[in-house]
Structure 1
Amino acid sequence: MSERHLTAEQAAAFCLSLPEAREDYKWGGVRVFSVAGNKMFAVQDLAGAGLSFKVDDTLFLGYCDRPGVRAAPYLARAHWISVAPPYALGREELTELLRRSHQLVVRRLAKRLQVGLVIE
């Protein structure tokens, strides 16, 4: 894996570095990254099938048209995309999208729950 791309473990470590992020293992082999208890912002298949996360509604179709990116199974209607390893997105773009996914979820929380979670 080149230094221009994240490995699955690096992507997981980045997700956990975001404010108040936590992980759970669910559904027989899926690593779920969430904030505020149970609000998912990314999921990673432990079998290596991919990493899925939420994107801005207006960007969803554009990402789905890119090679190596597809609508996330079961979550596409909520504007989630999926990338399979080796991730088709570069390190900077992927970390920014994961950060943005985290923030999209945070901004839907009640204002009192957003304290300390918003990244400026």
Structure 2
Amino acid sequence: MTTTIEDLQTICHRLPATTEDIKWDVHLCFNVGGKMFLLTTPDDVPPTATFKVTPEQFEQLIGQPGFRPASHLARYYWVHIDDVGRLSVARWEQLIRESYRLVAEKLPLKARRVLGV
């Protein structure tokens, strides 16, 4: 079964204090503490996504088909995938949790406590 934007949305909303909004008119974004951890473009065919990874994951992923450094965000180790359906829901769960963790751990301690992250 092909992974959908709705699958990603479900994964994101299982994480504490996740919010979603539309940025730049076309991107469905998922945030923690006001900081984005997943950016999707649901109206693209196929739908695409951009997310934060570790430096090691960055090097590994950009060498795989369908992945590339994310425009304007690559220097912060964000990658872009050209089709969310390339990955299983289980793999997406791992990647989204990691992106969430990387973003949440950079929030100020007070914000993390308030959000419960």
Normalised by the length of structure 2, the TM-score is: 0.87
Query: Any idea what the Cα deviations from partners look like across 1:64-89, whole Å, max 9, x if unmatched?
Result: 00112221122111111111225322
> Percent identity at matched positions?
30
In structure 2, the CA distance between the partners of 1:86 and 1:106, relative to structure 1 (3 Å rule), is closer
Tell me how far 1:58 sits from its aligned partner: 2.1
By percentage of residues, which structure has more helix?
Answer: 2
In the TM superposition, 1:72-83 aligns within 5 A as 72-83=70-81
Where does the alignment leave 5 or more consecutive residues of structure 2 unmatched? none
Determine the C-alpha separation between the residues in 2 that align with 1:86 and 1:112: 34
Partner of 1:106: 104
Deviating beyond 3 angstroms after TM superposition, the runs of 4 or more aligned structure 1 residues are none
Partner of 1:19: 16
SS at match of 2:86: coil
Determine the C-alpha separation between the residues in 1 that align with 2:59 and 2:85: 18
Number of aligned residue pairs: 113
Determine the C-alpha separation between the residues in 2 that align with 1:95 and 1:31: 17
Mean Cα deviation higher: 91-100 or 78-87: 78-87
From 31, 38, 41, the counterpart of 1:42:
38
Where does the alignment leave 5 or more consecutive residues of structure 1 unmatched? none
Normalised by the length of structure 1, the TM-score is: 0.85
